[in-house]
Structure 1
Amino acid sequence: MRRLPIGAVPAYCPGEFWDRTPEKSLDGPEVSPSEAPGRGILPIADSSLAARIMAAHSMAEESTAEWKPGDQMNRTDRERLFRCYPVLEELPGDLLGKVEQTSRLVQAPAGRRLFEEGSPCTHYPLLVEGVIRATKCSPEGHEILLYRLNPGESCVITVVALLGGSPYPAIGAAETGLTLFSVPRSLFLEMILGSSPFRVFVFQFLSQRMAHLMALIDDVAFRRVDQRLASRLLLHREPITVTHQMLADELGTTREVVSRTLEAFQESGMLRLGRRRIEILNRHALDRVHRAEA
Structure 2
Amino acid sequence: MHSQIKKIFPSFSNELIAEIEANDSIKSFESGSTIMRTGQYIKNTVLVTKGQIKVYREGEDGGEFFMYYLQPGQACAISMVCATKNEKSQIMAKVVEDAELIMVPLSLMDTWMMKHRSWYEFVIHTYRSRFEEVLEVIDSIAFRAMDERLEFYLKRHKDACGCKDLKLSHQEIASELNTSREVISRLLKKMEQRNLLKLHRNHIELLK
Same fold? TM cut 0.5:
yes
Pair 1:90–1:269, CA change in 2 (3 A): closer
Q: Which residue of 1 aligns with 2:24?
A: 103
Q: Which residue of 1 aligns with 2:8?
A: 84
> Any idea what SS the aligned residue of 1:172 has?
strand
Q: Which residue of 2 aligns with 1:242?
A: 168
CA distance in 2, matches of 1:279, 1:87: 35
> Any idea what SS the aligned residue of 1:87 has?
coil
> Any idea what SS the aligned residue of 1:178 has?
strand
TM-score, normalization by structure 2 = 0.85
Superposition deviation, residue 218 in structure 1: 1.5
Residue 137 (structure 1) aligned to one of 33, 54, 58: 58
Q: Which residue of 2 aligns with 1:152?
A: 73
> Any idea what SS the aligned residue of 1:111 has?
coil
Structure number with greater Rg is 1
Pair 1:130–1:223, CA change in 2 (3 A): same
CA distance in 2, matches of 1:173, 1:234: 20
Q: Deviations for 1:241-275, whole angstroms, at most 9, x for unmatched residues?
A: 42213323443434333123223444666544220
Contact between 2:166 and 2:203, CA under 8 Å: does it hold in 1?
A: yes
> Any idea what SS the aligned residue of 2:32 has?
coil
> Any idea what SS the aligned residue of 1:242 has?
coil
CA distance in 2, matches of 1:125, 1:269: 40
Q: Which residue of 2 aligns with 1:23?
A: none
Contact between 1:142 and 1:253, CA under 8 Å: does it hold in 2?
A: no
Q: Which residue of 2 aligns with 1:32?
A: none
Q: Which residue of 2 aligns with 1:178?
A: 99
Pair 1:253–1:160, CA change in 2 (3 A): farther
Q: Aligned residues, how many?
A: 203
Pair 1:189–1:254, CA change in 2 (3 A): farther
Q: Greater relative contact order: 1 or 2 (C-alpha under 8 angstroms, separation 6 or more)?
A: 2
Pair 1:269–1:78, CA change in 2 (3 A): closer
Q: Is 1:116 the counterpart of 2:37 in the alignment?
A: yes
Gaps of 5+ in 2: none
CA distance in 1, matches of 2:3, 2:106: 23
Pair 1:83–1:265, CA change in 2 (3 A): closer
CA distance in 1, matches of 2:165, 2:97: 19
Residue 116 (structure 2) aligned to one of 192, 195, 201: 195
CA distance in 2, matches of 1:81, 1:100: 9
Q: Which residue of 2 aligns with 1:47?
A: none
Gaps of 5+ in 1: 1-76, 284-294
Q: Is 1:263 the counterpart of 2:207 in the alignment?
A: no
Greater per-residue strand proportion: 2
> Any idea what SS the aligned residue of 1:177 has?
strand
Superposition deviation, residue 142 in structure 1: 2.1
CA distance in 1, matches of 2:27, 2:204: 34
Give percent identity, aligned residues only: 26
Q: Which residue of 2 aligns with 1:228?
A: 149
